[in-house]
Structures are given as structure tokens and as C-alpha cells.
């Protein structure tokens, strides 16, 4: 088999536990986690992955202590500034999904700057899910479609899967082939609900700051051995 996923999505989890294990503050875990992001992005591009989507901040993460939220926002700004050159050098295009409006203006500004500067890169697309929630995404799509139906722009009978996809934040992304979650938790945590419908799930106990490019390679090899049947029988796929 040995097929390669076109779209890999990662729930980068375990920064806080990593820091706690070392007797450090949670934020030190986020700092180290940012180093992992750099290594994983580089390796994914090197492996020829077309789309890498990283869960950086969920709509639920606003419920964390204010100090942690503020530090995470600062880390985002400094990482975007620092890694901007890496994206250019590796021909990576940066995109984002989520509700950018309620992010601090500096984060929004930096993000939009890097998105603009990398928009004509045609290597890997790196999508940051920022202030992203899968339920919110679907809710917003439903509202937008309902408005169009009300204004007779679309007829209800014409609403199909592609109408929904066109109204999602993730409208430009293909379905997720492989979802990786680190830290031993085995849940979706409101990530890409629509696009994960038929994803292969890969869970590892490794905490995100300890996750290496070899760990990514291992996940890709594991994916390559799986048979994706999409409801068909195994025999149908081989004939
Ligand atoms: C993931 O690590 C990073 C974010 C959610 C921003 P956590 O901060 O969730 O780490 P744990 O799960 O508490 O160990
Ligand atoms: C999911 O991790 C969000 C991100 C990785 C950004 P969390 O640590 O917030 O998820 P839960 O709370 O364990 O479900
Ligand atoms: Mg967590």
C-alpha cells in the first residue's frame, strides 16, 4: 500500500504536562512546543505532504487562566516573526482557519502579514487553526446558508455537501487523511469536525514538546499500512 496522506492534521497536546514533569511552569512547555512545530513543519514539507493543519488555539482555550492565554498569544506573535523566513525558504504557504476577529490585533496583524507574504508559495500549505472550534464553524456555515435561502439566493433543495463545504472556514482544504494527537488523550476536542469524517486516527503517548521528526515519520509509515475502505469491502479495493 504505502500511500502518503495529502492532508495531515495535528492536535498538538501535552505542553503543560511536559513542563510539569520537569518542575517548570506550563508556559515553558508551550515554548518547547514551538520548537517542535518548527521541526515538524520542516519534516512534513520534506516528506512532500501537501497540507499540514495544526491546532494552535481552540475556542475552548479562552477558558484557561488569563495569564496563560496572554502568554500563548505573545508566543504566537514571536513565532510568526521568527519562523517567517523558514516558511519562505521552504516554499510554504501559510493559511489560517478560525475566527480571527476576536484575536488580539497584534496576532491578527502578524498572521495576515505572513499569510500575504507567503501567498504565492506553492509547496506545502500550512494551516494554523486559531480560535477555531468545529461546532462554531458548522454553526456559522448553517447561518450563512440560511441567510442565502431566506434571500432566495439558494433553494433548499439545492443545498448539498458542497454547499456546506463552501461555507466552512476550511473550504479550501481537502478532507483530513491522517489526524495525529499527541500526549495520550484520545479525543477530537472540537477540531475539524466536518473534514475529519473519514480521517485515519493516530494517537501517541509522546508529549508534544518531545515529538520529533522521527515520530512524524513513524505516523506516516503507520498510515501507509492502513486500508481505507470508505464503506467498501476489501475485495472491491483490490480488483
Ligand atoms: C497543548 O498543550 C497546547 C494548547 C492547547 C495551546 P496543553 O497546554 O493542552 O498541555 P496539557 O494538555 O495541559 O498537558
Ligand atoms: C486541544 O487541546 C486544543 C489544542 C491543541 C490547541 P486541549 O488540551 O485544549 O484539549 P482538551 O481540553 O484536553 O480536550
Ligand atoms: Mg491539553
Ligand 1 pocket residues where CB is under 6 Å: 12-17, 57, 61, 72, 183
**Residue 62: how many other CB atoms lie within 10 Å:** 11
CB distance 58 to ligand 2 below 6 Å: yes
Query: Does the pLDDT of residue 238 top 90, yes or no?
Result: no
pLDDT tens track for 117-150: 999 999 999 999 999 999 999 999 999 999 999 9
Protein fold of 7-133+175-227: Undecaprenyl pyrophosphate synthetase (3.40.1180)
- Average pLDDT value over all residues in the chain: 97
**Residue 25: how many other CB atoms lie within 10 Å:** 15
CB distance 136 to ligand 2 below 6 Å: no
pLDDT tens track for 57-69: 999 999 999 999 9
Query: Does the pLDDT of residue 91 top 70, yes or no?
Result: yes
C-alpha of residue 153 to centroid of ligand 3, in Å: 42
pLDDT tens track for 161-191: 999 999 999 999 999 999 999 999 999 999 9
Task: Report the pLDDT averaged over residues 207-235.
Answer: 97
- Enter the DSSP assignment of 92: P
Burial of 53 (0-12, 13-18, 19+ CB in 10 A): buried
DSSP states of 146-174: HHHHHTTSS-GGG--HHHHHHTSTTTTSP
Instruction: Judge contact between 115 and 95, C-beta under 8 A.
Output: yes
Confidence of residue 228 (pLDDT cuts 50, 70, 90): very high
Q: pTM above the 0.85 mark?
A: yes
pLDDT tens track for 5-40: 999 999 999 999 999 999 999 999 999 999 999 999
- Which amino acids are annotated catalytic? 13, 61
Atom of ligand 2 nearest to the CA of 55: 6
CB distance 190 to ligand 2 below 6 Å: no
pLDDT computed for residue 239 by the predictor: 74
pLDDT computed for residue 1 by the predictor: 53
Amino acid at each position: 500500500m504505502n500511500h502518503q496522506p495529502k492532508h495531515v492534521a495535528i492536535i498538538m497536546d501535552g505542553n503543560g504536562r511536559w513542563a510539569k514533569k520537569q518542575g517548570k511552569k506550563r508556559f515553558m512547555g508551550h515554548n518547547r512546543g514551538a520548537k517542535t512545530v518548527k521541526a515538524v513543519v520542516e519534516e512534513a514539507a520534506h516528506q512532500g505532504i501537501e497540507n499540514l493543519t495544526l491546532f494552535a488555539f481552540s475556542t475552548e482555550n479562552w477558558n484557561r487562566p488569563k495569564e496563560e492565554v496572554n502568554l500563548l498569544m505573545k508566543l504566537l506573535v514571536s513565532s510568526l516573526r521568527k519562523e517567517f523566513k523558514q516558511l519562505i525558504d521552504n516554499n510554504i504557504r501559510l493559511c489560517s482557519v478560525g475566527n480571527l476577529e476576536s484575536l488580539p490585533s497584534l496576532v491578527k496583524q502578524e498572521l495576515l502579514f505572513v499569510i500575504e507574504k507567503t501567498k504565492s508559495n506553492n509547496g506545502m500549505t500550512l494551516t494554523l487553526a486559531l480560535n477555531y472550534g468545529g461546532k462554531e464553524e458548522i454553526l456559522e456555515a448553517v447561518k450563512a446558508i440560511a441567510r442565502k435561502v431566506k434571500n432566495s439566493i439558494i433553494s433548499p433543495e439545492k443545498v448539498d455537501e458542497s454547499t456546506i463545504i463552501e461555507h466552512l472556514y476550511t473550504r479550501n482544504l481537502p478532507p483530513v487523511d491522517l489526524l495525529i494527537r499527541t500526549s495520550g488523550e484520545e479525543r477530537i476536542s472540537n477540531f475539524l469536525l466536518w473534514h475529519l469524517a473519514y480521517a485515519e486516527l493516530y494517537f501517541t503517548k509522546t508529549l508534544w514538546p518531545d515529538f520529533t521528526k522521527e515520530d512524524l515519520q513513524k505516523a506516516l509509515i503507520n498510515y501507509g499500512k492502513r486500508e481505507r475502505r470508505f464503506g467498501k469491502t476489501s475485495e472491491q479495493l483490490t480488483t
